[in-house]
Amino acid sequence: MTEDPRIARLITLIRAAMSPPQGAGRVLMALGLGVLCHALFAAAVLSMILAMFFGLSQSFGAVPWPWAILANVALIVQFPLAHSILLTKRGNGILQRLISGPHGATLATTTYAIIASAQLLALFTLWTPSGIVWWQAEGAIFWAISTAYAVAWLILGKASFDAGAEVQSGALGWMSLMARIRPVFPEMPTQGLFRLIRQPIYVAFALTLWLVPVWTPDQLALAVCYTAYCLFAPRLKERRFAARYGAKFDSYKATVPYILPRKRGK
């Protein structure tokens, strides 16, 4: 099993973090940021699952209408905007400077995960519901859609693992600091779901937006906006991959489709 590079990287990183060199301040800093990162990550994922399951009909936002429209639009826009900026070369520089001192570069992935998790948590907990429910599944249809919703989230988890669980969760930064090693990023993902399509994370996230048992104007607005983002934002990511990996990415791009898997012959 350890021959799988996805698992081998995780095992190596965890073992290194479990035997940290001396440096109480560094260790405490790493542990503190690790706890913060994963607590926010878990809270964000849970809020997303629950909020979309109920079609964004339930949340803590209480902005009076019509101002709630502007507040909700701001909540929708803030995540993809920061997501796109922080993943650029300039954005990475910003991430490295957010934590002062010598460890900013090492902690960049953890810092990014903290920011992204906080953004998603804000979106799904501060949303102001319209109070309108168009349709709610019942009986066998409810259970069928709920099962499909759960499967979509499992696919998203699998795609994130295939891309590099340590990067996607933010663990790479704080564990590398803990072990006092340079963060080792995974190579261009080509295994698992990345054998079928080039952007399985974005496709899986788009599926979670539409496979919900409760439909409201709120959920439709979110689904339309974020599906559009999932379709077009990966183009920017692929430009970075083309610049970084060159012919390797060109060959991968030529054989693996963007978002829809090809029907394979015998």
Q: Is 231 a domain residue? A: yes
pLDDT in tens, the chain (266 residues): 457 778 888 888 889 888 888 888 889 999 999 999 999 999 999 999 999 999 999 999 999 999 999 999 999 999 999 888 888 888 888 888 888 888 888 999 999 999 999 999 999 999 999 999 999 999 999 999 999 999 999 999 999 999 988 999 999 999 999 999 998 888 889 999 999 999 999 999 999 999 999 999 999 999 999 999 999 989 888 988 898 899 999 999 999 999 888 876 54
Q: Is 261 a domain residue? A: no
Whole-structure pTM value: 0.90
Q: Is 57 a domain residue? A: yes
The predicted structure's pLDDT at residue 1: 47
The predicted structure's pLDDT at residue 2: 59
Q: Is 37 a domain residue? A: yes
Q: Is 262 a domain residue? A: no
HEC profile of the chain: CCCCHHHHHHHHHHHHHHCCCCCHHHHHHHHHHHHHHHHHHHHHHHHHHHHHHCCCCCCCCCCCCCHHHHHHHHHHHHHHHHHHHHCCHHHHHHHHHHCCCCCCCCCHHHHHHHHHHHHHHHHHHHCCCCCCCCEECCHHHHHHHHHHHHHHHHHHHHHHHHHHHHHHCCHHHHHHHHHCCCCCCCCCCCCHHHHCCCCHHHHHHHHHHHCCCEECHHHHHHHHHHHHHHHHHHHHHHHHHHHHHCHHHHHHHHHCCCCCCCCCCC
Q: Is 127 a domain residue? A: yes
Domain hosting 126: range is: 5-255
Q: Is 260 a domain residue? A: no
State the total domains in the chain.
1
Q: Is 266 a domain residue? A: no
